[in-house]
Copies of this chain bind each other. A is one copy, B any other.
Amino acid sequence: MIECSKCQRVESIMKAGFVRGKQRYLCKDCNYFFTLPSAQVPTKRKRHQTTIIDIARELGVSNSTVSRALHGHPDISPDTKKAILEAAIQLDYQPNQLAYSLVKSRSNTVGIIVPEFLTQFFPNVIVGAQGVLSRAGYHLMIMQSDESYETEVGNTRALLANRVDGLIVSMSHETNNYEHFQAFEKRGVPVVYFNRVCREIGTYKVVVNDYQGAFRAVEHLIANGYRRIAHLAGPRNLVISQERLRGYTEALQKYGLPVLPELTIHGDLTVEKARIYGRYLLELDHPPDAIFAVNDPTAIEILLLARAKGLRVPEQLGVVGFSDDSIAMHIGNGLTTVKQPTNLMGQTAAELILKLISEDEDTYPAETQVLETELIIRGSSVRGGR
């Protein structure tokens, strides 16, 4: 009944234990152990994507020939090339990027990690980056860390596993450890940081001149007669917070105004914290007459708080934000804000990463590109004269 898979004999077969739940046999003649091949369960019909091999078989040529035809390699006659291309579209061939990437050890994909997706800022950057990358034949693998260090590490692991050729990243505000980013550079995968950068790593960065933007914003408030200017700052560990704080401080100093510690208060960029700290500021015994907020959502929250308290803006309270979110133009009489070139920032980061990918020597010196900001003056900060 059972025949030896070597000698085809039937009489010399005996059972010989179990392997992985399957009966095992021994042919006494051949001294050969074997199990019966598992009955092919034909439930899952394998959906076949047509491959280069299919085309080759169809035309009776080798796969190398097909590959060459598909890539414009010179070593091929016009006739076969034409035939192969026709067969390719006739069989609806779609190249397998995975196999390609495996052999070339290059994925033509760059990863980007952003903290969140809900303000305008990061989507705008992504649009800018995607433009130049897709023109260069690269794809973008977008991940969001959700402002969590843990998921950020998970993101990097996924991108590493997918063998991205480069990484563009703006860190979560929880991030104080940079090993997961350095893992890329250790493997020769270039990294470009933008917006949320850190000082500890000296590599390629593209940022906005936060200091100057903040300085001008506060200077503008002073020019409009505000004298007791508070700063709703960002998380202490972020360079953007530090730089904007520095701009705030130095502008006050330049015009001889006191820098009062109680008027600088660190939040976490969210409106929830802004509501709490903003209320605190406005309910001080000696409240500020203007607030420079670290970003637009928090500035808007201040605006709403002021409205709720019956404070007139800009007469009793001046407000300036940062980023020029699309809401800024429309809220109240408009929110004065420091506009960042978001799209350009994405483009710049993308161009930088492309340059780093092509010159895979590390000859290229680390640099940080600083983009300029623009102060957009609206109703929230200009009071009549003075």
Contact = CB atoms under 8 A, between A and B. Distances in A.
Interface of A: 44, 47, 49, 92, 94-99, 101-102, 105, 107, 117-118, 120, 123-124, 126-127, 130, 134, 139-144, 151, 154, 157-158, 160-163, 183, 186-188, 300, 304, 326-327, 330-331, 360
Given A120-B118, A124-B118, A187-B49, A162 B330 contact: no
* Tally of this chain's copies: 2
Given A118-B127, A123-B117, A97 B161 contact: yes
B102 A98 contact: yes
Given A49-B187, A327-B330, A96 B161 contact: yes
Contacts of A120: 118
A97 B139 contact: no
Of A117, A140, A183, most B-chain CB atoms within 10 Å:
A117
A225 B113 CA distance: 50
Contact of A139 (B124, B158, B183, B187): B158
A160 B139 CA distance: 13
Contacts of A123: 117-118, 123
Contacts of A126: 117
Given A97-B161, A123-B123, A304-B330, 15 more contacts: A47-B360, A49-B105, A92-B186, A94-B157, A95-B161, A96-B102, A97-B158, A98-B101, A98-B107, A98-B162, A130-B144, A140-B142, A326-B327, A327-B327, A330-B330
Contacts of A163: 49, 96-98
A29 to B, nearest CB: 29
A135 to B, nearest CB: 11
Contacts of A139: 141, 143, 158, 162
Contacts of A142: 140, 142
B102 A99 contact: yes
A261 B126 CA distance: 41
Contacts of A160: 94
Of A49, A92, A123, most B-chain CB atoms within 10 Å:
A123
* Interface secondary structure of A, over-half rule: mixed
A204 B101 CA distance: 32
Of A95, A102, A140, most B-chain CB atoms within 10 Å:
A102
Contact of A330 (B94, B96, B331): B331
Of A47, A186, A304, most B-chain CB atoms within 10 Å:
A47
Contact of A360 (B44, B94, B96, B187): B44
A206 B170 CA distance: 32
A104 to B, nearest CB: 10
A96 B163 CA distance: 7
A142 to B, nearest CB: 5
A185 to B, nearest CB: 11
A327 B296 CA distance: 12
Contacts of A144: 127, 130
A56 to B, nearest CB: 18
A150 B162 CA distance: 27
Nearest to A188: B47
A42 to B, nearest CB: 13
A25 to B, nearest CB: 20
A316 to B, nearest CB: 20
A163 B186 CA distance: 29
A118 B130 CA distance: 13
A144 B128 CA distance: 12
Contacts of A47: 187-188, 360
A154 B327 CA distance: 33
Contacts of A117: 123-124, 126-127
3 smallest A-B Cβ distances: which pairs?
A47-B188, A97-B161, A142-B142
